[in-house]
Structure formats: C-alpha cells, structure tokens
Amino acid sequence: MRIRSIFKFLPPVLEYNQMDIPVEEFLTPTRVVILLKDPNGELNATVAEGDKVKTGQRLASDINNSGAISSVTGEVKELSSLLGARGESFTAVAIENQGNDEWDSSIIPDKDYLSKPPEELRNKLSEFDWFLMPEEGQIDTVIVNAFDSEPIVAISQPILTENSSDIQAGLAACQHVFGASRVILAAPEHLQGLAREVASDGVTVSTLKPVYPNGHPHLLVHKVIGKEVPEGGTPEDIGVLVISLEKLIAMLRLLRDGKPQIEKVLTVAGKGIPSPRVLKVRLGTLVSDILSHCGVTIDDRDRLIIGGPMRGTAYFSSDYPITEHSDAIIVQDATEIIEVTDNPCVNCGECVRVCPVHIQPHLLGRYSEFGLFLETRRYEIDACIECGLCAYVCTARRPTLQYIQFAKDMIIKEEERLKEAELQQAEEEETIRKEEETIE
C-alpha cells in the first residue's frame, strides 16, 4: 500500500501484511535439494551419490556447512554445482524422499535442557551454525522479532497464533541461554494482544507501527532500545541479539527435542493466487513443486521472485530450493512487471527523502554504475540496510538497490584480492630474507 501526502512532503508508507492466514502443510516433496556452501572450491561432503540418509543427518563436515542437514529420509541421487543469484558457489545435494521420516541417531531429546550450563547450550547451537554465538556476558539484550521481513510476507502472525506454548518456552530459554539482562518481544501494533498473551515472565513487549521497514533488525534495535548498530556492523557488536519468531521456535526444538530445523514457513503470492497463501514446507523443496501445488504456472516473460517485493531476488529458474532465508515466493505476470531502466539519475531527491538510515542512495547508485566501488565508502555504503525503498520510489526507474548490492559484492572481492596480494608479497619478502641469510 502506497500513501503520499497531497503536497509530497511525506515519504511513501508501506504497511506490513495484517491478514491472519492459516498455515497449510506441504511436507511430502518427492525430492529435496540441500545447498552446501562452497566458497573456495573445496567441499568436505560426508555423503555421496547412492548413500542413504536420515532426517536430521549432517551432509558435510566443514565449518562452512555445519548447519547443512537432510530435511528428509531417502537416497542421495546427485551432487552437482549450482550458482546462487549473486554469484555464490554451492554444491547441490539432491535427495529422493522415501516418504516417512527416520531421524538420525544423533537426535537425542533433552527435556531438562534448562538445567544445563548456558555455555553448553550455546555450544550446541554453534554446532548447527547458529548466529555469531557470543560468549556469556556479551549479549545484554535479546529482541525477538515478531515483524515479517517485508510487505506481502505474512508468516509471523500465524506462527504467533499457532505456536504460543513453544514461543513462551523459547522466550524463557533465551533468558537462560544468552544470560541477557532483558528479553524483549517486538511486535507490530496489530499483534500487541497476541504478543502479550505469549510473553512469559520477565519478557517486555514493545510495539511499533506496522510500517516497513520497522522490522529490520538494525532499525528495530534503534527504535526499541535506542541504540545504533555501527556502520557495517551487526546488532551483536553492541550486545544485542535479534531473533525471528521462527528461529526462536527452531532454537527451542533443537535444545529441547534435539531436532535441527527442517521446515520453513513461507508466503506464496502473485499470479494465479487471489490472496496470499502461507505454506509450511521442507527445507530444500523446489520452488517448482510449491508452485505446482498452488496451481501456478510460469509463462514466458513472467518474473519469479524468491523473497519479498522489496528485497527479494528474481530467479531465472523455478528449479531452485527453499532455504531458511526464503520467506516468500512471488510470481509476477509479464503484463504487471514494471521494467527498470538505465536512465540517468534526475536528482529528484525521492530516494534520499525515503532512506531510513539517512544516506544518499542516488550517489551510491551512480558510483556503482560506473565501477567506482571503493568510492561508495565515502558515502557510507556499509550503513545501507538494503531495504529497497530507494528503488521503489525512483522516478527514473533505476535499479538502485541492485547497484548498491553489486557495489558491496565487488568491494568484498576487491578486499579479498588485496588481502591475498599482501599475503603473497609478505611470503615473497620472507623468501628473499631467508635467501639473503643463507648467502651471508
């Protein structure tokens, strides 16, 4: 929903979805594809084609994939290379689902988990690549985020409605596991009643207007407790841990039941769907299978988006698996797509006005467009939270968000190149020094 002041003095307002949509289950895919990170071209997979795997079984032993587990019981059919939407390198493990779950032998429930030392519980979470697990005392505040990630996405309200007992237990676990002096449940105003019902003793409920991007972790920290996340940093850097409702429940079930996360709740919207649907699926389920289940067909020039309308990514194929970060699947009809352009910036100032972190997106876009990536640091590119509002309001229809994301990716690559060059130079200097010592 877009609202403008008649005199255009106010920025546009995008509201989060306020519909209470029941969760449908689609938990029996014929196959799943689990992505293993492969950043350096090296993979320590613990499975091979033809291996039998059980639900909850680890698929790799390297530190980059400590959270990669099988979401079904079945047979590994194929290991293949796959590129992500932003050039990430993955190994895709395709598993044929046998239809019934046999949990891995490592899955051991622990009903008395709250009697265990916090450090032991944090170590267990770290084993599954959870958070940037801090040492005890470094986290002062835990904020449980009951906002959805974007407009149209509608998963927090049904999770809050259908999992009240687990949320209460999860909030209590947060107090014990992280040793935080305060735990806050942050929710949009229309969920205030539900939030207060599930808040356990010692948990504070904080409500904000259901306006995007109030639910972004960086903004949430500022609006709820008045702290600012440092440029290029994370909430953990200032002693704050922000965790979603879905992740809170997954954390509880890992500590209490021993079961890692194998499911994802997501919203499906767009072409062929009169109103958004909320589905619970297995991690690794192919987007094509979900769309087929919903009766959606993708035609030529339609656009497939994984994620929300503001920050989601367009994909060229529906044969891509759902990950823990996939909050939505949106299909845009070809006739409804607003095409971006390479028109020059017209200096209207709309993106500057709407930016929630008060930087200058138009300049970041220009520098990125012409390959001057390091120059974007002068204009605080690391402070950008990639909310997408700049592209949404752009009069010239420039892909401002994508320019900024591209610049960030290229800066990382350049810094890695410079680091490698410095290491190589240091090695060469050390070799020369040793040769000189030998001659002497």
Q: What are the distances in angstroms from CA 252 to CA 167, 209, 260?
A: 8, 28, 10
pTM greater than 0.85 (yes/no)? yes
Name the helix (H) or strand (E) containing 430: helix 400-439
Name the burial class of residue 137, with classes exposed (0-12), middle (13-18) and buried (19+) by CB atoms within 10 angstroms of its CB: exposed
Q: What is the mean pLDDT of residues 392-402?
A: 95
pLDDT at 432: 86
User: Is the pLDDT assigned to residue 427 strictly greater than 70?
Assistant: yes
Tens digits of residue pLDDT in 229-288: 999 899 998 999 999 999 999 999 999 999 999 999 999 999 999 999 999 999 999 999
Whether residue 373 contacts residue 367, with contact meaning beta carbons closer than 8 Å, is answered with yes
Distance CA 235, CA 220 (A): 10
- Residues paired with residue 188 on neighbouring β-strands, in sequence order: 208
User: Given pLDDT bands bounded at 50, 70 and 90, which one contains residue 306?
Assistant: very high
Distance CA 31, CA 405 (A): 32
Among 11-25, 70-84, 188-202, which is the least confidently predicted range? 11-25
User: Is the pLDDT assigned to residue 1 strictly greater than 50?
Assistant: no
User: Is the pLDDT assigned to residue 326 strictly greater than 90?
Assistant: yes
Whether residue 407 contacts residue 379, with contact meaning beta carbons closer than 8 Å, is answered with no
